[in-house]
Structure 1
């Protein structure tokens, strides 16, 4: 184990995933979300397949006794990706990132319902606090449904899509927890990618457009960033415990703030930052509590990049 290397890899993966979001947002005004999901997934495949082939695990990664489980997980993942890419077209990148912080909190609720996990007062309090934080983030946008401007309505719609996407991420995490008890993480990763390529291709009849050279370069970059980010994320959890590096998920806000301001001139509101702070604190309490209870989520976290 090398915790310093694990943390460095985790930070690198977060930077790559936020870079991915930035490139998708840059083309969102012209490229449909389904098309963006296709190219992101397609161009990530060579990185993932090359990594598995280099480590001699490609053949074993393709073997599974639970193909429908992987297809279910991949389907939910595609839905989360498509909704988040759509939301990026309507909202500042920092807001989409902040709303996605709800995913671990929703996961706790779903784990209690579907996996029978016990949730005691500390985590119940953290979940309630996190939901309050999400409401603080969403409330200004939800007021847009009653506004007269079309832009306000679209931003409100984007906020709802981002929240639904976060719920899909939480469902995907629950499915991953079941899958990693049967197959290795590499199998989960490869089938998620293959499912994403196939399902997103089915959206082609619904308005795909021919990308310009610059847009194609950004889509290529998004796919490669996703593949490299996934590789770094999975490797990070082989060098350090989940409780050590999981909190570094929240550095994504720093990257989102920087990229959003530099490339799109976005400035976050104080209310959004306050809500994000509440959600982050709630998430850190949940991570701390899981660590105290000895529930290592390293495997499921390693194959579940947030918001990508």
Structure 2
């Protein structure tokens, strides 16, 4: 009887942690959607891409340090056991950030957000080509469906979505997928918050060098928006990190798609823009593709004795 009570109590505790992880992921999505809206506001007020990236990364460093001090009661998490990997991750990450922010500047928020949902698709392709991960026809079918969704959203030749912006958005997803593969390796020796700190800090090196050439004078309101980007971006990264402490990726990852709701609301409230009908048709196709890829990976991981080729 006592064992049953303990077992039920453990299941309840595990369930509570998963729900906390989901809540943290939803919070992270809201924070990062707010960041995207702030990026478009800053650009509308005359800020350049380099300025936006500089303030996003620089203002996030105190936030991350404060999180370390509160959670660890020290700054010991700064120490990295894979500094070379952190440097490579920062180099690729800051390049991907340039494409990510560029997509937000070139596209309506909803369309930029929808194209970001292609990350699982590119992660599958890179995993198969670079890591030689076994990938059967189920996941290749999901990849094909995902790209069909991209074609539905962008409608090449119609002009309703700038092709340059779409190309920048898809390139951003490629870089995010590359970083995801890197983080698998770095995560074995370094804590997530350590990676967040070094990404913010190391990426400041090129940004500090470039900033004087792109810095402009702004009013107080614009500088407040630029500083707020670092706050929301830093808190968003921390919330993502906290979510994975309490719940597996397969449980929290579907929450990411709620960002389309926030992107639509921000796009309409701040810029008077709503997604096109084709976006509402294509977005579910891309989302379904990503969710299926995540589900398939989880299923195969549960049965490691069965190869992906046989399982598929």
The alpha carbon displacement at 1:62 in A equals 2.3
**Cross-structure match for 2:293:** 286
The alpha carbon displacement at 1:222 in A equals 1.2
253-262 or 52-61, larger mean C-alpha shift: 52-61
112-121 or 281-290, larger mean C-alpha shift: 112-121
**Cross-structure match for 1:66:** 82
**Cross-structure match for 1:303:** none
261-270 or 158-167, larger mean C-alpha shift: 158-167
Residues of 1 paired with 2:199 and 2:153: CA distance?
A: 30
Residues of 1 paired with 2:247 and 2:83: CA distance?
A: 30
Q: Is the 8 A contact 1:107 1:173 kept in 2?
A: yes
Q: What secondary structure sits across from 2:301 in the alignment?
A: coil
2:99 is the counterpart of 1:83: yes
Give every structure 1 segment of 4 or more consecutive aligned residues whose post-TM-superposition deviation is greater than 3 Å.
57-60
2:60 is the counterpart of 1:53: no
**Cross-structure match for 2:48:** 32
Residues of 2 paired with 1:287 and 1:247: CA distance?
A: 9
Q: What secondary structure sits across from 1:294 in the alignment?
A: helix
Q: TM-score scaled to structure 2, two decimals?
A: 0.86
Residues of 1 paired with 2:229 and 2:279: CA distance?
A: 26
**Cross-structure match for 1:127:** 143
**Cross-structure match for 2:34:** 19
2:229 is the counterpart of 1:213: no
Residues of 2 paired with 1:285 and 1:195: CA distance?
A: 35
Q: What secondary structure sits across from 2:279 in the alignment?
A: helix
**Cross-structure match for 2:172:** 165
Of 189, 192, 196, which residue of structure 2 is paired with 1:185?
Answer: 192
The alpha carbon displacement at 1:138 in A equals 2.4
Of 147, 156, 162, which residue of structure 1 is paired with 2:163?
Answer: 156
Larger Rg: 2
Q: Is the 8 A contact 2:110 2:260 kept in 1?
A: yes
The alpha carbon displacement at 1:240 in A equals 1.5
RMSD between superposed Cα atoms in Å: 1.8
2:237 is the counterpart of 1:230: yes
The alpha carbon displacement at 1:207 in A equals 2.4
Of 255, 260, 265, which residue of structure 2 is paired with 1:253?
Answer: 260
Unaligned runs of 5+ in 2: 1-13, 303-312
Number of residue pairs aligned between Structure 1 and Structure 2: 286
**Cross-structure match for 1:266:** 273
The alpha carbon displacement at 1:242 in A equals 1.6
Q: Is the 8 A contact 1:78 1:199 kept in 2?
A: no
Change (3 A) 1:7 1:111: same
Unaligned runs of 5+ in 1: 145-151, 296-308
**Cross-structure match for 1:302:** none
